[in-house]
Amino acid sequence: MRRYFIEVCYDGADFGGFQIQSNQVSIQGALEQAMATLYRVPISLTGASRTDAGVHALQNFLHFDTDLVISQKHIYNLNAILPNAIVVKGIYAVPAQAHCRFDAVKRSYTYKIHSQKDPFLEGRSWYYPFPLDVSALNEAAALLLKHTHFESFSKKNTTVNTFDCQITKAQWVQAGSCLTFDIDSNRFLRGMIRGLVGTMLHVGRGQATLSEFQEIMDSNNEQNVDFSTPAHGLYLSSIQYPDYFQKII
């Protein structure tokens, strides 16, 4: 039996999240259904990052084990079966012990905001028509690099062994009327990025000081955090693996 990673991208707007749920259409569920249709046997998938309902992904991975012969043409076949909102980008043979979730060494996310109403950004970016101090936003983002414990930014209906995250990049970038927040870390907590974005925007609008933002981080209390940031502005942009990951089918 061989192990394979499957690389996907998707528009999360019409899905109840990544992970299979009994009462919602999910990314993982749609993929398993498409693979069962193609291969005529059930195939169980394990996901690398469980994006929330409405969150998009430019790159995400799942892995599966099979004795079936996997070929390049199956990428085309799967994409023909899948809904248009999900695309298989590749299927890669990996060592048997490789794990798409636990072996990931870095995950990167982007949050997109636009300040001028634009029909072509609807559902792809958050329309936020308020003046923002980008320098203040980046000062707040710089504090994240000095912090490792992010319990304040974790929604409580989750089970994790640690709230520690090693953030290696946190940056706001302005391009015309569009503003993006890019963040890299070894791991993220449930709701963490949307909580960070929502809370930092208070700093950018002058509604909170950097000292107050630091106090929120130190409080370990999620009730101090603004989690109201909509899902449709958030993208899982990439996942990085160790050198064992070889694009071989």
Catalytic, 243? Answer no
Query: Closest by alpha carbon to 227, among 215, 236, 216?
Result: 216
Q: How far apart are the first and last CA of the chain?
A: 14
Count other Cβ atoms within 10 Å, centred on residue 161: 5
Unique residue bearing structure tokens 């927040």: 181
Catalytic residue among 11, 14, 52, 67: 52
Taking CA atoms, 129 is separated from 118, 122, 133, in Å, by 11, 14, 13
| Residues that are catalytic | 52
